Chain A
Amino acid sequence: MRKTKLFDDAKNHISDALKLPKDLAKGEALIGLTGREEVFIENYKGILECTSEVVMVATGRCRVRIVGKNLKVSYYTNDEMKIEGFLQQILFL
């Protein structure tokens, strides 16, 4: 356990020193918003919940919960997804 923490710290230090993008180095999700009508998500693991009010997506470090109305997944591929609808909240759990 301690070894893993040490390894993570070292990895963080190296990536910070080299100024590598965080989505590549740490597996962070990329989330892009267009107003409150569209949201693009990249670098995710999968969908956990999908209804017309809530879409929950698992990413490398946390879960992203998108709350809104009339939500619709415009497309869903292995790399990216686009959600359309009236966005109300984006929560990181």
Chain B
Amino acid sequence: MIKFIRSFRGYVRIRVDGPAPQRFMNLCSVHDILLWDIVVDGYVYEMNLFVKDFFRLRPIVKKTKMKVVLIEKKGLPFHVQKWKKRKVFICGSFFCCIGLYALSFFLWDIQLVQEGNLTQEMLLSFLQDQDVTYGCYKKEIDIDHIEKALRDEYPFIIWTSCRLEGTRLFVEVKENDKTVEETDAEQAPCNLYATVDGTIVSIITRSGIPKVKAGDVVKKGDVLVVGEVPVYNDDETIKEYMYVQSDADIRLETEISYEDKRSLTYQKKVYTGQEKTSYYWRIHKNSFSTARLPDYEEYDIVTDLKQAKILEDFYLPVYYGKISYREYRYEDLIYTEKEAKALLMYEFEKFCKTLQQKGVQIVEKNVKIEKNGRTLRAGGNIVVEMSDGEPELIRRMKQTGEIQSE
């Protein structure tokens, strides 16, 4: 800080030579002239002092009969003198600063903090409809409006937060894992029917009349719980029907067939090591590239793109990067029987895990791996216990009790 103040005020380094250097220094201190970095070399003294103080030295020099030589000029006042000769440079720097300042009024980057169902592409397309795009004026962006519109547009978003940092717009959303069901559908009267063939393991009915009991064998499409509840007269004749939304926990045991094949021969992508690189620039919407497509038969294109920025948050509409073309070719390889079996087992375990994640309980696995020529086949049945009972809306209701459902 002291150095900065000294540089700002401007100072000089002088060499003092003569009969009474100590007297010279003492007189300087008496006249409030600050001296620093005093170095002695034999009878010669070198020291720094401010420019203003330098012009106050004359009477002291006369009194002490010293010889003072100016060695060096340092600090801002001297630089200003130099810059007077470099008007174009100064103008350029000035306009550069003005340009950067002007660019800071616009939006140059949009970031979705965490991707889920809402992807970056969806967000950009949505924001474009809201007239929020790269290069738009920051003050015209209505954050509250965007947040509300985002929630209205995508019902699975339950919370949004948009914030502007520098020239970037950050969008943070929280999504609901469970989709919200229509309340009308929830209250509509319905039956529950079986979606698969199987045997009922247990049934707990909360509303409606159960048509099956534990141990019953049902087929796909059979009604399990009826939403039509009869209301009886005193003489046990049906007075009317009350329609309710059927609700029950039904566990059903069923068989799922599983089949997977894997050929022993396969093709593997092998990079040859041949690679060509070209450079790419993009200024707002205009792009430039040194790219020339290579004469490889098959190749991957890998693009590494970066956005220019100043400090942490000041992103500029300038993109740069390199494009690599990597040649590859396919090689025919053969799995050993052990490798192929391991892969089939891995796929099967993955399938089982997916079932378990859906709440399906596996009771028995009857899957065998057989070799058939150059192919390995995993096939069989899995006995599982799962929740069932798909709602089926009761469309037309007759007082007589005949129900037509869809």
Contact = CB atoms under 8 A, between A and B. Distances in A.
A73 interface: yes
A31 interface: no
Contacts of B45: 50
Interface in B28-42: 28-30, 32, 34-41
B24 to A, nearest CB: 10
A50 B26 contact: no
A49 B22 CA distance: 6
Contacts of A71: 40
A49 B37 CA distance: 16
Nearest to A71: B40
B34 A77 contact: yes
A72 interface: yes
Given A50-B21, A50-B45, A52-B40, A73 B26 contact: no
A72 B38 contact: yes
A89 interface: no
A7 interface: no
A77 B41 contact: no
Interface in A31-53: 46-52
A72 B37 contact: yes
Nearest to A51: B40
Nearest to B25: A47
B29 A46 contact: yes
Contact of B41 (A46, A52, A74): A52
B31 to A, nearest CB: 8
Contact of A50 (B28, B29, B30, B38): B38
A77 B33 CA distance: 7
A71 B41 CA distance: 11
Contacts of B32: 77-78
Contacts of B34: 75-77
A48 B25 CA distance: 10
A50 B25 contact: yes
Q: Give the dominant DSSP class at A's interface.
A: strand
A74 B37 contact: yes
**Which residue of B21, B40, B45, B47 has the most chain A CB atoms within 10 A of its CB atom?**
B40
Given A50-B45, A51-B40, A52-B40, A73 B22 contact: no
Nearest to B24: A47
A78 B37 contact: no
B65 to A, nearest CB: 18
Interface residues of B, number: 18
A76 B40 contact: no
A47 B26 contact: yes
Contacts of B30: 78
Contacts of A75: 34-37
A75 B40 CA distance: 13
B40 A50 contact: yes
Contacts of B47: 73
Contact of A46 (B22, B36, B37, B40): B22
Contacts of B40: 50-52, 71-72
A76 B38 contact: yes
Contacts of A50: 21-22, 25, 38, 40, 45
A51 B28 CA distance: 18
Nearest to B41: A52
A46 B26 contact: yes
Contacts of B21: 50
Contacts of A49: 22
Contacts of A46: 22, 25-26, 29
Contacts of A48: 22
A77 B2 CA distance: 15
A74 B25 CA distance: 13
Contacts of A52: 39-41
Interface string B1-40: 0000000000000000000011001101110101111111
Interface in B46-74: 47
A63 to B, nearest CB: 13
7 contacts: A50-B22, A50-B40, A52-B39, A71-B40, A76-B25, A76-B35, A78-B30
Given A46-B26, A72-B37, A73-B38, 5 more contacts: A46-B22, A48-B22, A72-B40, A76-B29, A76-B34
Interface of B: 21-22, 25-26, 28-30, 32, 34-41, 45, 47
For the complex of A and B, 8 pairs with smallest distance between CB atoms: A73-B38, A46-B26, A75-B36, A78-B29, A76-B35, A47-B22, A52-B40, A51-B40
